Structure 1
Amino acid sequence: MSTSHGTARTNGNGHARTRSGLRGYSAWSLLRHGLSRSGWPRAWREHELRDRYDAVIIGGGVHGLATAYYLARDHGMRHIAVLERAYVGSGGSGRNTAILRSNYLTPEGVRFYDRSIQLYEHLAADLNFNVMFSQRGHLTLAHNDASLRTMRWRTEVNKLQGVDSEVIGPDRIGELVPYLDTSAETRYPILGALYHPPGGIVRHDAVVWGYARGADAHGVHIHQQTEVTGIDVEHGRVRGLRTNRGRIATPVVLNATAGWSSLVSHQAGVEMPVQTFPLQAAVTEPVRPFLDTVVVSGTLHVYVSQTDRGELVFGASVDPFASYSIRGSLEFTEGIAGHVLELMPALHRMRLLRQWAGLCDMTPDYSPIMGPTPVEGFYVDVGWGTYGFKAGPVSGEAMAACIADGKPPEIISAFGLDRFADGRLVGEKGAAAVGH
């Protein structure tokens, strides 16, 4: 494993420790551990729960861990706790399809997600952990004239923000994805596509583990199996919170949860304009790699990508009803299989191995809610819909700056909670309704 901060030094056990405090291994050490199946050090440590922290982050997913990492690394804050009621990455971070892109519709959204792509490009080196980011390109198909107009609109917005996007025709699409049916005789003929070369996929659990390990190396306490049962507010400001393991005094609390964000904020007396919907996905048996790009169809409400192991990952838009259920449904399986076969008929013999669901918090304008709230010291990083994993690094960076400086940085200033009362919505439905 390469190091990102100078020369690694080897200790007596054959482990290499970098200047950042993260561990790597020599080839012989890896071989010895692999054969013995014992002696592996923990990626992050367990700590006793303190009764006081400088900041407490609720949610042990990519957003919460990234915020803790950047707070400690970039702003020198110590005594930070991340509370996760289950295990690290057990929520939305472990139930997504980890597609990355920045070809959004609004200038605010494009700038924001493009910064996240930039951070993802260097994340493996920064964390000294392979997050398996593969920039293979992203195709959003257009099946009618209205969709094609939207693609051209998005392309111009992207180009004005310096993001690589272009509208391409069926011939070019066929060259990029030969298995797509680009003929004019199909039920949903492909008229063109928005092609976004910087887009791709990443290994979601590797990102979570990398941030957890990096945060731990900078002194952050990560507490799993720790559920927040109440948030203490006095005279309009946060004083602490209650958990199933005891009370914690703190002047800063960040709600970085997904699926339950409105319930957590309610504990602090802050109401969120959020509805929670299930989102389902499925994966096939592994086959020889043949799909180099991510393919999305808004008309058919389907997207597909292929992992490094050869599996095809399918997904759709959120379920049409609000719910906290994460059970899969036969209706989803039948619908997704039919739409994928309309795009790529040659896949009809592939077997679907499993499906799963996660919870998505949707806002009225399909944009997140980030920054301070009317309760002093209580911050939110919520409302991510189906696209929160794309924004993990930039959200952590921006929320860390927001907490440290006491005000939102410019890159998230448009995503404040007060925009709903003021009518300053950031309408991303045209680029985020399908979700990927």
Structure 2
Amino acid sequence: MPLSLLKYGLSDEYPVEVDLPPPKELKSHYDVVIIGGGGHGLAIAYYLSKYHGISNVAVLEKSYLGGGNTARNTAVIRSNYLTSDGVKFYAESVRMFKNLSNEFDFNIMYSERGQLTLAHTDSTVRAFRQRAEVNKHFGGRTEMIDRKQIKELVPCLNLDPAHLPVLAGLWHIDGATARHDAVAWGYAKEAAKRGVEIHQLTEVQDFVVQGNKVTAVKTNRGMVQCGCVVQAIAGASSILMNKLKIRAPIHTYPLQAMVSQPFKPFINPLVSSSALHCYVQQTSRGEIVFGGGSDPYPLYNTRSTLDLKESLLAHAIEMFPFMANVKLMRQWAGMTDMTPDYSPIMGKSPYDNYYLDAGWGTWGFKSTPICGKTMAELVATGRTPDLIKPFELSRFSRFQQVNEMGATAASH
């Protein structure tokens, strides 16, 4: 048996499916160049090749696949937003997430667990009632629950913090989590099968513009001609847009999170507090994930800080006092591109062949499938799908913002 296993391992015919082909040189021209090898960029490439037959596509990633905000989020999936435009968009994304493992033949570890958001004031209770009705109107499973129902869902939750007793909760049954790097690799695997080229360690440095079109992209590995370009990066969205003098109301803030050592399962739903600006979940491996609001100052950096750790954990302990003795395992940060109305910028830019997928703030991961599908349709047909029309850059000049402020219990 050991000898046959050794021969199998050393054989030239080792029958293992390779998810990604080996690195290759950049071609001189691509029909579509996608900047950003995270979930969004890879999803756009996948749907372009699958539904529209466009496979002469290059995904350019300055680091490694999914190494930006895709790897730095807390993997929450939900659709309990405030506006009708937001709810419709994210509800479709939740629906698509549920079938991704089957579509990829690759386990993304999707887990529907529900999200419980706590209300500590009368005004929050009123706002949650409105959110529940909007969600139900567009097919989401969201409802208001009282203290007794909250205690049944999360028996270990402290319902009476000293200054902020819990009055009610918004129970979003569709709330879920998925393995974020698995989502990126699933899209990468399937896109590569269809001929999409994925180039890691390839940084976009500048553009060549002729008339009102971007005709070439300059990278650290040379220049490539292109039919069109899709910008799908996080953190540095405004920096890249500045190279083309595209004005957008984006400010970038670090967003930190942390995770504890693993424990036996004790909490199934995701629990967040609108007043404490903190959310807590337990992973399938037993670790406790803590997340909260963005840092209060703009910064292009992914460093962690002690002050955020102290304030965030103090709020988490108010909800779960027994966690005071929990040991942390690691802490990290991502960079969030925030817009004034807390909604993304998707669609056409001032250039005829340059498309924007930016301004995602804290909600980029949960939109990955639907963003990829709709942006691919836009690139392939030149027509903006109705689902993302409200998120066009031009909404700011038209004063038609999609105000999602308060749609999350942390960060806003």
Q: State the TM-score, normalizing by the size of structure 2.
A: 0.95
Secondary structure in 2 aligned to 1:110? helix
1:261 partnered with 2:237: yes
Among 91, 94, 105, the alignment partner of 1:117 is 94
Aligned to 1:285: 261
- Distance in 2 (alpha carbons) for counterparts of 1:282 and 1:257: 23
2:400 paired with 1:424: yes
Q: How many Å separate the matches in 2 of 1:116 and 1:240?
A: 32
Q: Does residue 80 in structure 1 map to residue 81 in structure 2?
A: no
Contact 2:116 2:269 in 1 (8 A): yes
Deviations 1:350-373 (A, max 9, x none): 111110001000001000000011
The question of 1:106 aligning with 2:83 is answered yes
Secondary structure at 2:325 match in 1: coil
What is the CA-CA distance between 1:433 and the residue it aligns to? 6.4
Partner Cα distance (1:285, 1:49) in 2: 43
Matched, 1:156 2:133: yes
- The answer for the alignment partner of 2:40 in structure 1 is 63
Deviation at 1:203, TM superposition (A): 0.6
Deviations 1:170-199 (A, max 9, x none): 11011101110124x633211111100111
Q: Distance in 2 between matches of 1:172 and 1:244?
A: 56
SS of the aligned residue for 1:431 comes to coil
Match of 1:376? 352
SS of aligned partner of 1:273: coil
The alpha-carbon deviation at position 268 of structure 1 amounts to 2.3
Say whether residues 1:386 and 2:362 are aligned partners.
yes
Distance in 1, Cα, partners of 2:299 & 2:244: 23
Aligned residues: 405
CA distance in 1, matches of 2:204, 2:303: 24
Deviation of 1:43 (Å): 1.8
Question: Is contact 2:274-2:408 (8 Å) kept?
Answer: no
* Identity percentage of aligned residues: 46
Shift of 1:84: 0.1
Is the Cα–Cα contact under 8 Å of residues 303 and 315 in structure 1 kept in the other structure? yes
Query: Could you tell me how far apart the structure 2 residues matched to 1:269 and 1:380 are?
Result: 13
Please name the residue that 1:142 is paired with. Answer: 119
1:311 paired residue number: 287
Q: 1:342 aligns with which of 308, 318, 325?
A: 318
Hey, what's the Cα distance between the residues in 2 that align with 1:41 and 1:227?
28
What RMSD, in angstroms, separates the aligned Cα atoms of the two structures? 1.8
SS in 1 for 2:50: helix
Aligned 8 A contact 2:76 2:176 in 1? yes
Other-structure match for 1:273: 249
- Hey, what's the Cα distance between the residues in 2 that align with 1:269 and 1:239? 16
Q: Which residue of 2 aligns with 1:129?
A: 106
> Aligned letter for 1:364?
P
Q: Distance in 2 between matches of 1:32 and 1:187?
A: 64
CA distances 1:289-341 after superposition (whole Å, capped 9, x unpaired): 11100011121010111111000000101000000121111111111111111
Distance, in Å, in 1 between the alignment partners of 2:29 and 2:159 is 60
Residues 285 and 353, structure 1, Cα contact 8 Å, conserved in 2: yes
Q: Aligned partner of 1:107: which letter?
A: S
State the Cα deviation string for residues 12-37 of structure 1 (Å, max 9, x = none): xxxxxxxxxxxxxxxx9xx969x969
Moved over 3 A (4+): 35-42
**Secondary structure of the equivalent of 1:348?**
helix
| Contact 1:366 1:433 (C-alpha < 8 Å) held by counterparts | no
Asked if structure 2 preserves the Cα contact closer than 8 Å seen for 1:366 and 1:432, the reply is: no
Residues 176-228 of structure 1 deviation map (CA, whole Å, 9 limit, x = unaligned): 01110124x63321111110011111110111111111111111000000000
* Residue aligned with 2:402, SS: coil
- Residue 17 of structure 1 is matched in structure 2 by none
**Is the Cα contact below 8 Å between 1:372 and 1:407 reproduced in 2?**
no
In 2, distance between residues paired with 1:47 and 1:212? Answer: 16
Compared CA separation, residues 188 and 265, structure 1 to 2 (3 A): same
Structure 2 residue aligned with 1:325: 301
Q: Supply the distance in 2 between the matched residues of 1:299 and 1:37 (Cα, whole angstroms).
A: 59
Q: Distance in 1 between matches of 2:9 and 2:149?
A: 51
Judging changes above 3 Å, is the alpha-carbon distance between structure 1 residues 32 and 202 closer, same or farther for their aligned structure 2 residues? farther
Q: Distance in 2 between matches of 1:352 and 1:319?
A: 20
* 2:224 equivalent to 1:236: no
Task: Please tell me the residue identity of whatever aligns with 2:157.
Answer: L
Q: In the aligned structure 2, how far is the partner of 1:364 from the partner of 1:47? A: 41
Residue 146 of structure 2 is aligned to residue 169 of structure 1:
yes
* Contact 1:58-1:254 at 8 Å conserved across structures: yes
The superposition leaves residues 39-71 of structure 1 with CA deviations (integer Å, 9 ceiling, x where unpaired) of 655321123210100000000000000000000
Q: Distance in 2 between matches of 1:231 and 1:111?
A: 35
Consecutive unaligned residues of structure 2, counting only runs of 5 or more, are none
Question: Which residue number corresponds to residue 298 of structure 1?
Answer: 274
* 1:182 counterpart letter in structure 2: L
Q: Please say if 1:218 is aligned against 2:207.
A: no
Unaligned runs of 5+ in 1: 1-27
Q: 1:414 aligns with which of 390, 395, 404?
A: 390
Q: Which amino acid in the other structure matches residue 85 of structure 1?
A: K
Q: Match for residue 6 of structure 1?
A: none
